[in-house]
Amino acid sequence: MQTSIDVKLTEYDLKLIEKDYDRISVLIDDTKKLNRVCRRINKLTKGAVVRAINSDEYEKKSCGEVLSISFPGSITAKYIDLIKWVKPGQLHDARKAGVNLAKLSGDSSVLIYIGSQKFSADFIKGYLLRQYSFSEYKTSKITKSRSATLMLNKPLDFKKSLEEIKATVDGVFFTRDLVNEPANILTTVEFSKRLQKLSTLGIEVEVLEEKQLSDLGMNALLGVGQGSANPSKVVVMSWKGGAKSVQPLALVGKGVVFDTGGISLKPAGGMEEMTMDMGGAGVVAGTMLALAKRKAKANVIGLVGLVENMPSSTAQRPGDIVKSMKGETIEVINTDAEGRLVLSDVLWYAQERFKPSGIIDLATLTGAIIVGLGYENAGVFSNDDNFCKTFMNAAALENEGAWRMPLAPAYDKKLKSRLADMKNVGGRDAGAITAAQFIQRFIKKDMPWIHLDIAGVAHTKSESTYAPSGATGWGVMSLNRLISDKFEDIK
């Protein structure tokens, strides 16, 4: 499992500038009055810093962008990075600055000085998030270790913040690793094994096998995986950091390790990307890891349904009718609308067993949400305005795009089945909404619920705000902040 790079905290010391670092990075918040570090670098480079910040190239840069000076005079470092800061900069500008520096620094050892800049935590968070790479299956591997030394006026005061940042980043990286893995490696069996290793962090992990799922009546979930040689599983992860009397928040993730569409087979073009169809389960797993690493004072249950949707002689057919754990019957019109079948049983099980105070499900559920929102925002559906507002605020603070979508009884009419209690699809129009309406049928009355359709944000072909192309880890930071702000220290 990949973790965030090593960050060393050190006290303010001008002598460090002349040490053997690959890069020295400084924040320029006042071009008229340079801080002591910048003045020292400027002297050693015979005025290069002043010439650079007065150049047209620097002037054209926006807040958080970086101008680099190559092989700067008598300084040992190969590069001096000048980070432009325009007052009053905001949280997201600091994140952007960290990301931009990380993209430049690569496999370097970096000395960073940002003075008393109040967004230092967000700067280093952006820096660490963008230091991710997935090269597990490349024969030519990176061997040089990356490191950052953060020079602060009061480093001890920043130690706790850094530990919490690294815990969150490690959770994001765990999610990215899982989502980036190919399906021949990350089978349902391998996925469950990796989740079982979270027990070393104090998370209680339980794996429900097919016989147990059948006894529980999870026929909707089992129907999705019945065409695969890989067994279906449900993994339950429990973090008990809060008071015993407090009911947990439940996080539920769709974990389709590969989605061919089943008998309703997808087109060949782009099908290789369906290794990411377990993105919801990946986010739940990464969030649980982050909570455990920072020892969150909250009770949270993470549940993931792990299946593989394959076409075979035993696969579920269009027209099949299955009985869910809730007891209601579902006519399977399209076997490629499988994620909602998985979620329906796991959501019902979570409510029946754990009686949570609220429930959030995450799934790479529909192509329709991508048509509506592109790759910038996840679709947010909820039956509780206050719960939803709290999540939206957390997502905004973490700069993870989210947009609330409607729910209404009128959409339920599209799920009416002639043969069963409901069908699993409602047609092409409003596809993401009817999918959410389907899932809502398995949410108990008065249960605060949020459904996150992350099909557009879990995995991108080009780089995203905090990640290179591929898995983004979207959602871990927002859920972690939501739990920190609203579910910790409740008595």
Phi/psi region, residue 109 (left: phi>0; alpha: psi -120 to 50; beta: rest), is beta
**Residues paired with residue 253 on neighbouring β-strands, in sequence order:** 304, 362
Alpha helices in 253-402 (DSSP H): 279-293, 339-354, 367-373, 385-397
Using CA atoms, how far apart are residues 121 and 102, in angstroms rounded to an integer?
A: 15
Distances in Å between the Cα of 46 and the Cα atoms of 42, 52, 54, 70, 73 are 6, 12, 15, 14, 7
Using CA atoms, how far apart are residues 380 and 369, in angstroms rounded to an integer?
A: 10
Q: What's the token pair of residue 353?
A: 């067993």
Written as one letter, the residue type at 148 is A
Catalytic sites, residue numbers: 266, 340
Using CA atoms, how far apart are residues 285 and 301, in angstroms rounded to an integer?
A: 10
Using CA atoms, how far apart are residues 225 and 44, in angstroms rounded to an integer?
A: 65
Is 314:228 a contact under the CB 8 Å cutoff? Answer: no
Using CA atoms, how far apart are residues 84 and 53, in angstroms rounded to an integer?
A: 9
Residue matched to tokens 């325009």: 86
Written as one letter, the residue type at 13 is D
Q: Which of 103, 101, 104 is nearest to 114 (CA)?
A: 101
Q: In what order do the strands lie in the sheet with 449-453?
A: 204-208, 233-240, 299-309, 249-259, 358-363, 449-453, 378-382, 402-404
Q: What's the token pair of residue 101?
A: 């520096």
Question: Strands 402-404 and 449-453: what pairing?
Answer: unpaired
**Residues paired with residue 109 on neighbouring β-strands, in sequence order:** 147
Query: Computed from CA positions of residues 210, 212, 215, 216, in that sequence, does the dihedral angle turn out positive or negative?
Result: negative
Tell whether omega for the bond before 155 is within 30 degrees of 0, i.e. cis: no
Q: What's the token pair of residue 313?
A: 């002689």
